Amino acid sequence: MPAMSRFLTIFVLLLALAFGLELTPWAQAFVVTPWTDTVARVSGVLMRTFDASITTSGNVIGSSASPFAVAIEAGCNGVEATLVLVAAMLAFPAPWRHRLAGIAIGVATVQVLNVVRVVTLFYLGRWNERVFEWAHLYAWQALIMLDVLIVWVIWVKMAPSGTAQGSPRAAAA
């Protein structure tokens, strides 16, 4: 099987498997919900450094100064973006040490940008509902996936040169 086809096949299978597991009640209860609450809590801690009115409860971020609040739901908790990145790094032929380092740093990068997304969406929503909807539904979705792609491309570039053999990159070169 050509290297690119092999990479894409493994990536799609891993992603479908990971996403299927994510939807199970067990994963929702023990991983996704606690993770989402953590994203809300971390965002709240960050926002309180410059806005003392911020409150958090579970997956909801609000403010004592405004009736506006946001609830972090599936698609906004960074879980799917993380699954995509991990699947792409596992599907690419690279030494396990490089994979694990890439997953650790890459997931951290995605989550940091996701917190930025949550914080900016909260203040956009307080300012203008239409702009909030636009940023929430379209712009930030694209930016998060761009982040995943760029992190993956950098990781591929930094892979030990021997791993280029049989990789999508080598096949295309």
> Residue 165: phi, psi to the nearest 5?
-60, 125
Binding of residue 19 to other proteins (CB under 8 A): yes
Binding of residue 23 to other proteins (CB under 8 A): yes
Binding of residue 173 to other proteins (CB under 8 A): yes
DSSP 162: G
Q: Which amino acid is at 62?
A: G
- Per-position x/- string for 127-146, each x denoting binding to other proteins as judged by CB under 8 A, each - no binding: ----------xxx-xxxxxx
By rule CB under 8 A, what count of residues binds other proteins? Answer: 40
The alpha helices in 23-167, defined as continuous H runs, are: 25-27, 33-48, 79-91, 96-127, 129-134, 140-157
CA dist., res. 106 & res. 6, Å (int):
22
The binding site for other proteins (CB under 8 A) comprises: 4, 8, 11-12, 15-16, 19-20, 23, 74-75, 80-81, 84, 137-139, 141-146, 148-150, 153-154, 156-159, 161, 164, 168-173
